[in-house]
Chain A
Amino acid sequence: MKICGSLKKDVEAFKKVLPAEDILTFDFVSEKGLSFTAIFADPITDKELLGEQVIRPLLHYEGKACAQDVGEKITSPEKRTETDLTKLAEEVLAGNPVLFFEGMDEGIIVGTKKVFVRAIAEPTTDVALKGPREGFIEDIKINTSLVRRRLKSPDLRIEFLKVGRRSQTYVALCYLAGISLENVVKEARQKLKEIDIDIVPDSSYLTHFLSSRPYSLLKQIGTTEKPDIFCAKIAEGRVGILVDGSPIALTAPYLIVEDFQSSEDYFVPSYRATFTRLLRLLALIVAIYLPAFYIAGQLFKLQLFPVRLLLTIAGSIRDIPFSPSLEMLLVLFVLEVLNEASIRMPKYVGMALSVVGALVLGETAVSAGFVSTPAIIIIAFSGIGLYAVPNLLEQTSVLRLVMLLAAGSVGTYGIILATGFVLFYLVTAENFSTPVLAPFSPLIPKDLRDSLVKYDVGSLRTRPASIGSKNKRRLRHE
């Protein structure tokens, strides 16, 4: 529906398109008698700016009813014209007021949206002792500005798309032209455009649509809350996706090795980074397998324990009424409940809960003879180990349970078979035509320099071949 030029009729038509009660109108007349109507969404428009930059200058307007002349009088740097009422309505809903005036068949959109944002802070899920502390927030414009500040290249492309039939959420597809592979950019753009969903409350909603195996247990899209990591990933040839309203940015293609890397690894000596990466892997392996092997050893193969340890364990489990697998599942269940409750509880109650959970429940359960001390030690260590790679927590906690069930039913051979399943599943998993297990499978020796081991930055001369890039050279050297 188009604007006709009659102020009264246009405002009425607009009200029909957008009948919501929080959409307000403000009528005013210039010194020369030209009538204006500003339409805006009350809660999300900065009325002070509207008055300062639009209404006050136009009260003194002496020219004709011409959009260009009126536009010049408005002091806001963000302004444009539009004739379609539906598009104007969308802008009002986004917080930008629309200005109608008598005798003009165009509306002027003014960028005086009120922005409610929290301050840029260090993300709680990705803390680094050294290196940048900034984290993304919920506003897409601020997030894109954080990216732009780090990548001042004209090759940085930020394509805005709207996703969500009702939420009309802005999604920014970021990539470096000339570095990211065109087919990856095209696939990401295509997948985003094909999303037909009601609302997009968070970026995690999009991962389902961007994954080639949406129901997979394993992650297929990378996530980060830190702009420095986001930019580094883009510079390696990945595409990044920012979603308005979400502090978590997505990156693709995703490699599983990414989650073993931390931003801090790049700011400490390479030997230290290698050590911590291997430590994370070891912690994760122990966290997944330790409870399973403990059960398999007790149930099927006592030789797995050294004799003295076996005697200690035998002493602890002597009076336990449950089978080893049931005991372990029980302790694991308690740990998961404690974990879940402590995250959801208010902070102060959470502390009390930790005391009740860890001290009272654990101590009394052992002294009452319900569970054994080794079981609690193993599950506690396993619980801590999983947090060594927090980005894989959802996946690894399920894997731990799978291994536990395999060990409880078939023993050590069950663990080996389950491992075989997981390995083969991983080697066949691909997203954006990139194997998630690269550079280990398929083996790409050059990329091993920044995988579980970390070479010095001077040795990382080329971009990762696992991802593929049009421009392979990262570092020019003499």
Chain B
Amino acid sequence: MNKVSVRQLYFFLACIAPVGKLVVMPVRLSAKAGNDLWIPTLLLYLLQAAAVFCVLLLGKRRKSLYELLCERIGSVCAKIVHLLIVCFLLFCALIPLLEQKLFVQAVFYDTLPSIVAFAPFFLFSAYLCSKPLGSEGRAFDLLAPISVVGLVGVLLLSVSNADYGAVLPLFASGAKGIFGAVAGACSWFFDPVLLLLFLGKFEYGKGTAYKGALFYLAGGAAVIFFLITFYGIFEGTAINQLFAFTKTSKYYSAITVLGRVDYLFIFALSLVMTFYTALPLHCAVESCLQAFGRKKYLPTILSVGFNLIFLIFDGLLDYHFGDVLGVVGKLFWIFPLFTLLLPPLLLPSRRSHEGA
């Protein structure tokens, strides 16, 4: 149960990871880069794909992250790095959690529900986190087709309303706009760190690393196509269209006759997003377990503890999503530190190991 196959990781990279980037990120990108919103996304995806390549290459050594770190910097420092990773993952979880909460409140209810409406998510997340991380792999097998159906459905209902010429002229926002958008969207790109926790749980095969990077880029292509469609529909008003993937499909002509059939696809994507939102917390639990051992009740205690902390945050930050986004935006440099720097730093020890 605690093993995953590389196919399951590919499913995650291509089908599940993109879903988290369709809610608030498009609005943030439109605000910074306007019609060039797809260019920063492409840049981020290319950088992250390189990091994914490095992480999957580390899988060749069939060791967990903790074992790799121990080999490189000793067990005490490895534990410290693991604690830092836990802090980073909890930091990463903040934006998806809050955006999902807002998404739920806005999309699933006609009137604003009480703040406890989102609380059952933490029950679900605590249950998920108490199970071995490898079981996520099996969930990816089921979620991948659901995600594809959801995304294809939303896109099919959206394309007819999009003016794809709206993304022209290219580079209209200039370098400042594009790099500002890169910095602003960094908080949605932490997938290589999630993958780090899967190290030692999969069998590296021929070409796993580059295939993984390609699958990640395939997911990126879907996100970019969605972003272009999104901007093609809303153009100048795109900055006001929070929860992007619920908005693009509602202008489809058949909806007046059939009702909001697009909700079927939105619900499918929401289900996938629920799992994706809980994943950083699950990885944080796994990180603690790798560093401090799998004691009997530790997974349950950690999963309940982390989710309880976020439940409190959820209550405290109920009306402060903008502030949180601002703070996270200022601390954007933390993300590349862990996602882009950490995996390549672990690679050299691989060479020395092979040399030995």
A419 vs B1: C-alpha distance in the bound complex, in angstroms? 21
Contact B142 A437 (CB under 8 A): yes
Is B5 an interface residue, CB under 8 A from the partner?
yes
CB contact between A410 and one of B120, B131, B139, B260 (< 8 Å): that residue:
B120
Contact A411 B113 (CB under 8 A): yes
Contact B141 A411 (CB under 8 A): no
CB contact between B113 and one of A300, A437, A440 (< 8 Å): that residue:
A300
Contact A428 B109 (CB under 8 A): no
Complex interface residues of chain A between 244 and 299 (CB less than 8 A to chain B): none
A440 vs B144: C-alpha distance in the bound complex, in angstroms? 11
Is A20 an interface residue, CB under 8 A from the partner?
no
Also in contact, A440 and B121, with CB within 8 A (given A306-B259, A413-B108, A419-B271): no
Contact B274 A304 (CB under 8 A): no
Is A427 an interface residue, CB under 8 A from the partner?
yes
A420 vs B124: C-alpha distance in the bound complex, in angstroms? 8
Contact A411 B108 (CB under 8 A): yes
Which residue of chain A is the closest to B140 with respect to CB atoms?
A441
Contact B138 A441 (CB under 8 A): yes
Contact A416 B270 (CB under 8 A): yes
Contact B117 A441 (CB under 8 A): no
Contact A303 B142 (CB under 8 A): no
A428 vs B258: C-alpha distance in the bound complex, in angstroms? 37
Is A423 an interface residue, CB under 8 A from the partner?
yes
Return chain B residues, CB-CB under 8 Å to A413: 104, 108, 117-118, 120, 270
CB distance from A180 to the nearest CB of B (A): 23
A333 vs B104: C-alpha distance in the bound complex, in angstroms? 31
Also in contact, A304 and B270, with CB within 8 A (given A420-B275, A427-B139, A440-B142): no
Which residue of chain A is the closest to B146 with respect to CB atoms?
A423
Return chain B residues, CB-CB under 8 Å to A300: 108-110, 113
CB contact between B135 and one of A303, A414, A419, A424 (< 8 Å): that residue:
A424
Is A217 an interface residue, CB under 8 A from the partner?
no
A138 vs B1: C-alpha distance in the bound complex, in angstroms? 39
Is B263 an interface residue, CB under 8 A from the partner?
yes
Per-residue CB contact flags for chain B residues 100-132 toward chain A (1 = under 8 Å, else 0) read 000010001110010001101101100110010
A416 vs B1: C-alpha distance in the bound complex, in angstroms? 24
CB distance from B195 to the nearest CB of A (A): 19
CB contact between A309 and one of B5, B138, B259 (< 8 Å): that residue:
B259
Per-residue CB contact flags for chain A residues 430-449 toward chain B (1 = under 8 Å, else 0) read 10000101001111000000
Which residue of chain B is the closest to A309 with respect to CB atoms?
B259
Complex interface residues of chain A between 301 and 317 (CB less than 8 A to chain B): 301-307, 309
The count of residues in chain A whose C-beta lies closer than 8 Å to any C-beta of chain B is 30
Contact B267 A412 (CB under 8 A): yes
Complex interface residues of chain B between 228 and 277 (CB less than 8 A to chain A): 257-260, 263, 267, 270-271, 274-275
Contact B263 A303 (CB under 8 A): yes
Return chain B residues, CB-CB under 8 Å to A437: 138, 142
A42 vs B128: C-alpha distance in the bound complex, in angstroms? 60
A400 vs B319: C-alpha distance in the bound complex, in angstroms? 35
Contact A417 B109 (CB under 8 A): no
Is B60 an interface residue, CB under 8 A from the partner?
no
Return chain B residues, CB-CB under 8 Å to A411: 108-109, 113, 117
Contact B141 A430 (CB under 8 A): no
CB contact between B8 and one of A301, A421, A442 (< 8 Å): that residue:
A442
The count of residues in chain B whose C-beta lies closer than 8 Å to any C-beta of chain A is 34
A374 vs B121: C-alpha distance in the bound complex, in angstroms? 31
CB distance from A235 to the nearest CB of B (A): 27
Contact B258 A306 (CB under 8 A): yes
Return chain A residues, CB-CB under 8 Å to B123: 417
A30 vs B39: C-alpha distance in the bound complex, in angstroms? 107
A411 vs B5: C-alpha distance in the bound complex, in angstroms? 35
Is B220 an interface residue, CB under 8 A from the partner?
no
Return chain A residues, CB-CB under 8 Å to B257: 306
A435 vs B257: C-alpha distance in the bound complex, in angstroms? 43
Best-surrounded residue of A305, A419, A423 (most CB of chain B within 10 A):
A423
A308 vs B128: C-alpha distance in the bound complex, in angstroms? 40
Complex interface residues of chain B between 272 and 301 (CB less than 8 A to chain A): 274-275
Return chain B residues, CB-CB under 8 Å to A309: 259
Is B211 an interface residue, CB under 8 A from the partner?
no
Return chain A residues, CB-CB under 8 Å to B117: 410-411, 413
Contact A417 B138 (CB under 8 A): no
CB distance from A14 to the nearest CB of B (A): 55
Return chain A residues, CB-CB under 8 Å to B258: 306
Contact A442 B110 (CB under 8 A): no
Per-residue CB contact flags for chain B residues 74-109 toward chain A (1 = under 8 Å, else 0) read 000000000000000000000000000000100011
Contact A412 B8 (CB under 8 A): no
Best-surrounded residue of B7, B138, B263 (most CB of chain A within 10 A):
B138
Also in contact, A442 and B275, with CB within 8 A (given A414-B120, A424-B128): no
Return chain B residues, CB-CB under 8 Å to A412: 108, 267
Complex interface residues of chain B between 4 and 57 (CB less than 8 A to chain A): 5, 7-8
A420 vs B257: C-alpha distance in the bound complex, in angstroms? 31
A26 vs B98: C-alpha distance in the bound complex, in angstroms? 86
Is B219 an interface residue, CB under 8 A from the partner?
no
Sampled A-B contacts (27; CB under 8 Å) = A300-B108, A300-B109, A302-B110, A303-B110, A304-B260, A306-B257, A307-B259, A411-B108, A411-B109, A411-B113, A412-B108, A413-B104, A413-B108, A413-B118, A413-B270, A416-B267, A416-B274, A417-B120, A417-B124, A419-B271, A420-B124, A420-B275, A428-B1, A437-B138, A440-B141, A441-B142, A443-B8
Interface, chain A (partner B; CB < 8 A):
300-307, 309, 410-414, 416-417, 419-421, 423-424, 427-428, 430, 435, 437, 440-443
